[in-house]
Amino acid sequence: MAAGLVEEESRKVLRGSDRYMIVLRAVAEGSPGPRSTGGCAAGPIPRSDLTYLLDSLVRYGYLERLPDGSFTIPDPAVRYMASGGR
């Protein structure tokens, strides 16, 4: 139930951008850093766009940057939602 609320609120905050969800999903699945944060149906996400997306997600509180430069999702409900309910 919490993941559903998080997903609904996330759509409002992130304005439905597929790229935000792609980045969140990659982090939820254990992507070690920005270089391995996949792409989308239109192709890979350019590095400058990826940096912007990651910085925005940190600013919004969806991600946390770790000392080693990787990212984590601090909120378990957001992590659950981003992993597709797994």
Model pLDDT, residue 19:
84
Model pLDDT, residue 42:
44
Structural domain span for residue 65: 2-82
pLDDT bucket at 41, cuts 50 / 70 / 90: very low
CA distances for 26 relative to 1, 54, 79, 80, angstroms? 22, 11, 11, 12
Give the tens place of pLDDT for each residue, 19-40.
888 888 889 888 655 554 455 4
Residues in the chain: 86
DSSP the chain: -HHHHHHHHHHHHHTT-HHHHHHHHHHHTT--SGGG--EETTEEPPHHHHHHHHHHHHHHTS-EE-TTS-EE---HHHHHHHTT--
Number of domains in the chain: 1
CATH of the domain at 27: 1.10.10.10
